[in-house]
Structure 1
Amino acid sequence: MKVLKFGGSSVARPERILGIVDILKDYYASGDHFTVVFSAFGGVTDSLIEMSRLAAAGDDRYGEAFQAFADRHQEAITALLPEGALRKETSTKMRKSHDVLKNLLYGIFLVREASPRTMDYVLSFGERSSSYIISQVLQQAGIPAEYLDARKIIRTDKTFGSAKVNFDKSYEQIRDYYAEHSKVQVVTGFVASAKGGLTTTLGRGGSDYTASLIAAGLKADAIEIWTDVSGVLTADPRRVKKAFTIPRLTYAEAMEMSHFGAKVIYPPTLMPALHSRIPLYIKNTFDPSFPGTKVSEESSSEDEAAVRGISSINNVALLTLSGSGLFGVPGISARLFGALAQKSVNIILITQGSSEHAISFAVQPSDSDLAKKAVEEAFAYEIDRGVVNAVKMERDLSVVAIIGENMRYQPGVSGRLFQALGKNGINAVAIAQGSSELNVSVVIPKEDENKALNALHEAFFLSDYKTLHLFIVGVGLIGSTLLEQIRNQNDYLRSKLGMEVKVVGMANSRKMIFDEEGLELDTNWKDQLMTKGDDADLAVFIGRMRDLNLSNSIFVDNTANDKIAGYYAGILDESISISTPNKVANSSSYLQYQRLKSIAAKRGVQFHYETNVGAGLPIISTLQDLLDSGDQIRKIEGVLSGSLSFIFNNFDGTRPFHEIVREAKEKGFTEPDPRIDLSGKDVGRKILILARETGISMETEHIELKGFLPEGAMDAPSVDDFFSVLEENTDYFTKLYASAAEEGKVLRMIATLEGEQASVGVQAVGPDNPFHGLSGSDNMVVFTTDRYNERPLVVRGPGAGAEVTAAGVFAEIIKIGKFLS
């Protein structure tokens, strides 16, 4: 014998019921002996509650709600049964039943009250209607089916709304009834009866409970719970998109999953199955061939995953009783929990430190004020004496739990849990773990629940596969190149590094767009941004990134905008890592530079800016490696501007200086106003950043800029006027070049840091100098250190261009991803 149960979503529409008929035909054809339990049609229970509420409030609109209820069932009969005697019989039976409901509702309307006892009777019409109609449909399909009102076989007490089952009496009646009926019984879920024939209901998950009770009474071979998902999943699929089906669970694991919010299984359902050792299967009505989840007493083997699932309770309040008066005093816990029990307050989670100084417990928010009052009354004497503090209450919290019997066999599970939470900036308010090590529960801020579920799911089920969520501001030349590199490399990242990069948000100066599932990075993304994006608003963009609160979030700033840099502190403080070529933040005040580094360290996130100096060259990381390994920096010299490198590498006496500068501008190597480059200010910002990385608290004004331009160049009213000044001073630049050439030297704009002195200026260097052989737009940095003294360490390569800069940012994104792993 098998007991099958189909939920409300499975019978929500006539076409779904026909799908169930097909499933049951296969069972019948294979010779399986089975009975089947049905919930009310999807949404019907809610409509019955609503019409009762309206009637009790004296609102005659209850009649409209009732008529919709009656019409829905008559329409189902018409859709499911062909015209004839069976349809007529079914329709007549339903009309009579619904007339009783109509009169009952009118009575509620007259007395303006719907007691729990009355409500149980009202709600029973949902299951009684659906089960009777489906029993007739099964007969029409050739299955010898018979309608069974569960009130005949399941006995309870008179706790209306959630009645307590009399197991011995119920099992006896189940056995007796089935001994006399050989047809396929189609049973009403959820409903039962008390002494005197009063209708009762079994509470949340009652139809599943009905199936389990019948199975236990009949010593069935299996229970099958058919629903709209493919078994018990590793996490809630509405919150964790990558959740997948757990093939098998023990009763204990399933119980824990259900306690912590997994709605596929309800705890009462498991108890009869557990006591009778009946395996329970969770299957999908809409994918009947999928095996689903098996719940049984079979223990997981030690080589299986330690964590079987992750679940959560969405909204709890945490109360804490603390004080010196608790230490070493026997009976404190008994008084505390006794006071709560007297007020019928259910406790979700309990945690107490070994110091006995505090006991924390989580309750439903609706019970929090009552719980606080009850505990403070119980400890009023100690509170008045000042040895126990007033109860502390924290709201807007959630409980997240990892569950699995194998956790006891595998060390490091808790460490992985807290590492995943910590790297995503999620604070653990309280922690609880039983000695059985069946679950580890963590109380966290409610706003972080989704983020925590996804971070933990990746840590335990996708540990070889991680998703990075990018928010990119600036999709011009560098940004668009970065997007292309991500698109071209994502397959490699998935297969070789177990990493997927999703661009969740992007913005330029005019538009911004978001997609939590990841924006498509095909060639059409620019059109998508401009046609479907909202008007750009930096504050809104940052706020949306914060509110999405996605795990493994990274903010990428590809601009040179000082306003965006002003948001860095807040972004890091939200535990979001940053990668940026924008030099503004790190070259502003030393206090701000230190603040950003401090926040990143405090929040445990990454702040990367390698491309601030030398585009994609590993200059900052090389310097950090030298310092971290204990080397001492004696001098840093560098050609740190690709545009200036291009200009001076091409200034070989064959062409006037102004022509070379104009070419550099036309190629996009310089800023729109080349004076920004030629003044040395940009190079000054770069040597400033390197100085700060060595630990020197230097400010911009401490850098000596040795100007080389002729008088009037920097003060020219416009860029065109500036070029006119250069052209007028052609002889000046020719002499500058000739003077160096006479000594066999070339001109280079070199930044120097020695001790705590920094300068930027044009120098003439000979063949023995490493900068002499520079070509193109290459950058070069020379580190002279205690270890690299006689032969300094040189880093050289392209120091400008969208490809190398974007590649540098991309490398930092991957580095952040590895840190988060």
Structure 2
Amino acid sequence: MNDENSAVLRHAAKNHLAKLAGNIHKFGGSSLATATCIERVMNIIREHCQLNDIIVVSANGTTTNALFHLHQLSLSYAVQQSESLVTGVESEPSKTLREQFNQALRALAGEQKSLIEALLNASTAARLSEQLASDVQVISQQLLANPDRFKNDLLAYGEVWSARLLSALLNESVCPSYMLDAREFLLLADEKASVIDYAESGRAFAALQKRNSLLIVTGYIARNKDNQSCTLGRNGSDYSATIMAALSKARHVTLWTDVDGIYSADPRKVPQARKLHRLPNAVARELGRLGNPVLHAKTLQPLTQHNSHLHVASSFAADISGSEIGHFGHIAKQELAVTELNDLILACSNSFYGDSGQRAVQEFAPICYNLEQGYLLIPQRQQKALSQWLASYGNQVSFQPVAMIAVVGHSVATQGDMRARFKKALRQQKVLHFQPASNKHSYIAILAEPCTTELLNTVHTRMTKDAKNIALVVAGVGNIGQRFLTMLPKQLARVTGLDNVHLVALAGRTKALINTDGIDLSNAYQDYQQQAQVCDSTHLLRWLSKHPYDELIVVDITASEAFSNLYHDFFAHGIHVISANKWAASSSTDNYQQLLATAEKNTSLWLGNATVGAGLPINRTIKELLDSGDEITEISGIFSGTLSWLFQYYDGESPFSQLLAQALAEGITEPDPREDLSGRDVQRKLLILARAAGVSLSLQDIECQNLVPESLCDIPLAEFLQRSTELDELFLQHLQRAKAKGCAIRYVARFINKNDKIVAKVSLEQLSEQHAFTQLTPCDNVFQINSQWYQDNALIIRGPGAGRDVTAGGIHADLVAMCQQLNHRQPQVKLPA
């Protein structure tokens, strides 16, 4: 055993996380199919398991199918043998079947031995190979002699071999483990319904447990009261996992399978199926009842009395967030799925009215029923049993082959709009009945014809077209952030593209309010003030990387360079960003290009219209021009609302320092006015627009005129304000020189790209009184774009370039644009090769 790996798991068992030990992990047959698959499972165990956890296993790969095939051969051989007994001579068909049986058994044994030898060291492999040979001998002797009586014992070998191999491999290379055959403790109270005797099973299990070791348990098998082997049905290992959770009171069960979650339809049939990240227990049970290919009807039954969460994840992509089933709030309750079943029978009889109908429902648990109209909908396999049951009443019954399609969601059958949409989607079909399930979590249509893949896709599209859940995280809860939150409820109510947007987190500098089930919009900021917890970037990233939504958008309304440094992690996790924060878009060229590349690689969207011009659509306009084939040759304008206000009002009649003090008092400048007068903010904005125009520039490439004399740059703020009169003569001279030419002074940003020569600068310019840049309302921004299409008559965008309302409005415009793009995205279903 590897001491280092063992030490890691031993340490995990002692730390805080070990208090949650006793989780269940189930690995399906496809997850254990080959040596490569098993090695992948070993890595998952190292990463996700702790000592005292329980691992439930299925048979490796197609082993169960092979065992069923052996049983079929043995039955055929038994028939031939009975005929041979009459003649006293073994017939040729009998000899052929016996040889086929022996060949199939040798092939199965060879596959198992290959796994053993590929994964284990020589001594351990020899021991397991010896045990395998002994098992094969028992099968050879018992199955041909007693095919029916030995059937369940035969089928149990698949799980026994799988558990034995995994336990041996763990002991060799990871940590202490031991294997339990579920038949040693798992007792069925009702074999027909596979109901567990939890009291007796719990006592037997407790006596067999060992501490500080991983337990490997066989799935799929149990024993009855006569101590005979029983199976829990195909896919019964999932049921075994949740049974083990009930016995051990585990808080979490993870089903590691070959798909990365539960989908809104079978992804093998519906390419546009989307992952259901979180499902309420009741909805999941209904999906399993109605034939979901991942969830099975019995799987969730053991969890109904326990506060356990069920996870479905892919062993082929363990880093991808799967689906979770448990107790959730309103976001999870909005999830919708569409499922279908063919090979059904619509049974109609007078016996299905009243009390006798209730007895039929209890006996056969139909898919749906209507005791007022006298029908039950059942699988075809139940037809014979139902006929025999009805014979005792002497009533006639009619059977009609049918199919069904259903929409499944929390209380969906009570939602009139959903029922109407479902009926509209099926208006071209011959529907015999529409029937709500008794639990109201599905609305079922009984079809006279089989449900085709085309119909399933059509109904899925129409029912789930607005079902995508988009989560919103707002970082920055200052003036603009608060205004954004105030506007949010009205925006969500009136803009169609925002139907399924949910505010799930508010983050400030040192604390955050995170609610996976959604934050009440009517009281969001107040809840943040009262309930926010200390939260650093590591904590926030950990939560964001595991978010349970179709899409997640971070709205950055901070002015923090440190927060902008998180964008790489956001994009790496496929998270989208809306920026009012200028730092990332004006960072170094290398960093900016890396951000774009990471976002593109992970299909993350990044919008930042509010980084320049508040709510004015300058970034968006540049993008639209480029996307339509235009070439931009010049961008110029007044990009600072503060400098716009100062120079629009400065006429030389009053000292510049007096005007600056007024602007500071009215909150028009930054707390330190030198931030505005330095031109650095305008320089960054010009860089952002130049990059948006497709030109690779850095901040150093843009010449910047600082309007603060060097003698005033590095002194304390209080001293600067006291000495601000030193600015008066400087600015008066600028103004007088301009007036002498019939001009005004304005602080202008210019980017020119002509004949592959680039000029970029921000500076104080003298402009005619008739120039577009001088005819502004104070605080306005103006942007002038010259391009191939706009050469002689430039495109001008003008309006307020600062303010809570316009900036928050600009961010909301980006939110609408981003959600429209996300809602039109096709989901990418991840299936194993």
TM-score of the aligned structures, taking structure 1 as reference length: 0.51
For residues 429-440 of structure 1, the aligned pairs below 5 Å read none
Q: Deviations over 1:242-297 (max 9, x none)?
A: 2469798544799xxxxxxxx9989xx8352266758899999x99x989xxxxxx
Match of 1:799 in 2: 801
One-letter code of the match for 1:241?
Answer: K
Instruction: Name which of 214, 230, 248 aligns with 1:160.
Output: 230
One-letter code of the match for 2:561?
Answer: D
Give, in angstroms, the shift of residue 643 of structure 1: 1.1
Match of 2:572 in 1: 573
Match of 1:501 in 2: 501
> Kindly, what percent of the aligned residue pairs are identical?
26
Name the CA distance, whole Å, in 1 between partners of 2:193 and 2:231: 19
Match of 1:198 in 2: none
For residues 13-28 of structure 1, the aligned pairs below 5 Å read none
Give, in angstroms, the shift of residue 485 of structure 1: 1.0
Instruction: Name which of 27, 50, 53 aligns with 2:202.
Output: 50
Name the CA distance, whole Å, in 2 between partners of 1:305 and 1:483: 48
SS of corresponding position for 1:800: coil
SS of corresponding position for 1:791: coil
Give, in angstroms, the shift of residue 510 of structure 1: 3.0
Q: Is the 8 A contact 2:403 2:450 kept in 1?
A: no
SS of corresponding position for 1:746: strand
One-letter code of the match for 2:203?
Answer: M
One-letter code of the match for 1:160?
Answer: C
For residues 435-450 of structure 1, the aligned pairs below 5 Å read none
Name the CA distance, whole Å, in 1 between partners of 2:469 and 2:233: 46
Match of 1:121 in 2: 225
One-letter code of the match for 2:751?
Answer: L
- In the superposition, relative to structure 1, how do residues 301 and 252 fare at CA in structure 2: closer, same or farther (>3 Å)? farther
Q: Is the 8 A contact 1:120 1:161 kept in 2?
A: no
- In the superposition, relative to structure 1, how do residues 464 and 769 fare at CA in structure 2: closer, same or farther (>3 Å)? same
Q: Deviations over 1:145-176 (max 9, x none)?
A: xxxxxxxxxxxxx6534599xxxxxxxxxxxx
For residues 139-178 of structure 1, the aligned pairs below 5 Å read 159-162=229-232
Name the CA distance, whole Å, in 2 between partners of 1:673 and 1:810: 29
Q: Deviations over 1:501-559 (max 9, x none)?
A: 2111111113211111210122x433422332210212211210111242121011111
Say yes or no: does 1:725 pair with 2:727: no
- In the superposition, relative to structure 1, how do residues 55 and 544 fare at CA in structure 2: closer, same or farther (>3 Å)? closer
- In the superposition, relative to structure 1, how do residues 461 and 729 fare at CA in structure 2: closer, same or farther (>3 Å)? same
For residues 394-409 of structure 1, the aligned pairs below 5 Å read 406=451, 408-409=453-454
Instruction: Name which of 334, 339, 345 aligns with 1:242.
Output: 334
- In the superposition, relative to structure 1, how do residues 252 and 774 fare at CA in structure 2: closer, same or farther (>3 Å)? farther
One-letter code of the match for 2:813?
Answer: A
Match of 1:517 in 2: 517
Match of 1:533 in 2: 532
One-letter code of the match for 2:805?
Answer: E
Segment of structure 1 superposing worse, 660-669 or 540-549: 660-669
Match of 1:26 in 2: none
Give, in angstroms, the shift of residue 44 of structure 1: 6.8
Name the CA distance, whole Å, in 2 between partners of 1:660 and 1:700: 30
Aligned length: 476
Say yes or no: does 1:272 pair with 2:389: no
Give, in angstroms, the shift of residue 674 of structure 1: 1.3
Name the CA distance, whole Å, in 2 between partners of 1:770 and 1:675: 26
Q: Is the 8 A contact 1:781 1:796 kept in 2?
A: yes
User: Unaligned stretches of 5+ in structure 2?
Assistant: 1-188, 212-217, 235-281, 296-324, 347-364, 369-377, 388-398, 416-424, 435-448, 824-833
Name the CA distance, whole Å, in 2 between partners of 1:618 and 1:769: 22
Name the CA distance, whole Å, in 2 between partners of 1:57 and 1:501: 47
Give, in angstroms, the shift of residue 724 of structure 1: 3.0
Q: Deviations over 1:209-228 (max 9, x none)?
A: xxxxxxxxxxxxxxxxx999
Match of 1:703 in 2: 702
Name the CA distance, whole Å, in 1 between partners of 2:606 and 2:193: 54
One-letter code of the match for 2:509?
Answer: S
Say yes or no: does 1:542 pair with 2:515: no
Q: Is the 8 A contact 1:586 1:592 kept in 2?
A: no
Give, in angstroms, the shift of residue 572 of structure 1: 1.0
- In the superposition, relative to structure 1, how do residues 405 and 729 fare at CA in structure 2: closer, same or farther (>3 Å)? same
SS of corresponding position for 1:587: coil
Give, in angstroms, the shift of residue 644 of structure 1: 1.1
Q: Is the 8 A contact 2:345 2:379 kept in 1?
A: no
Give, in angstroms, the shift of residue 618 of structure 1: 0.7
Match of 1:784 in 2: 786
Q: Deviations over 1:186-221 (max 9, x none)?
A: xxxxxxxxxxxxxxxxxxxxxxxxxxxxxxxxxxxx
Match of 1:694 in 2: 693
Say yes or no: does 1:742 pair with 2:812: no
Say yes or no: does 1:595 pair with 2:605: no
Higher relative contact order, structure no. (Cα contacts within 8 Å, ≥ 6 residues apart): 2
Give, in angstroms, the shift of residue 681 of structure 1: 0.8
Give, in angstroms, the shift of residue 770 of structure 1: 0.9
Please report the RMSD computed on the Cα atoms of aligned residues, expressed in angstroms.
4.6
Name the CA distance, whole Å, in 2 between partners of 1:812 and 1:41: 55
Match of 2:471 in 1: 469
Instruction: Name which of 796, 813, 819 aligns with 1:817.
Output: 819
Match of 1:586 in 2: 585
- In the superposition, relative to structure 1, how do residues 305 and 549 fare at CA in structure 2: closer, same or farther (>3 Å)? farther
Name the CA distance, whole Å, in 1 between partners of 2:656 and 2:479: 27
Name the CA distance, whole Å, in 2 between partners of 1:701 and 1:595: 19
For residues 749-764 of structure 1, the aligned pairs below 5 Å read 749-755=747-753, 756-764=758-766
- In the superposition, relative to structure 1, how do residues 666 and 488 fare at CA in structure 2: closer, same or farther (>3 Å)? farther
Match of 2:660 in 1: 661
Name the CA distance, whole Å, in 1 between partners of 2:284 and 2:197: 17
Give, in angstroms, the shift of residue 655 of structure 1: 2.4
Q: Deviations over 1:729-779 (max 9, x none)?
A: 423322322332333322111001112110010112113321010122110
Q: Is the 8 A contact 2:342 2:403 kept in 1?
A: no
Q: Is the 8 A contact 1:229 1:283 kept in 2?
A: no
Give, in angstroms, the shift of residue 694 of structure 1: 2.1
One-letter code of the match for 2:597?
Answer: S
- In the superposition, relative to structure 1, how do residues 234 and 702 fare at CA in structure 2: closer, same or farther (>3 Å)? farther
TM-score of the aligned structures, taking structure 2 as reference length: 0.51
One-letter code of the match for 1:548?
Answer: H
Q: Deviations over 1:673-698 (max 9, x none)?
A: 11111111110011111112222221
Give, in angstroms, the shift of residue 709 of structure 1: 3.5
Name the CA distance, whole Å, in 2 between partners of 1:118 and 1:626: 68
Q: Deviations over 1:92-140 (max 9, x none)?
A: xxxxxxxxxxxxxxxxxxxxxx9x99941189xxxxxxxxxxxxxxxxx
Match of 1:129 in 2: none
For residues 617-696 of structure 1, the aligned pairs below 5 Å read 617-696=616-695
Q: Is the 8 A contact 1:479 1:806 kept in 2?
A: yes
Q: Is the 8 A contact 2:613 2:802 kept in 1?
A: yes
Q: Is the 8 A contact 1:636 1:781 kept in 2?
A: yes
Name the CA distance, whole Å, in 2 between partners of 1:732 and 1:592: 38
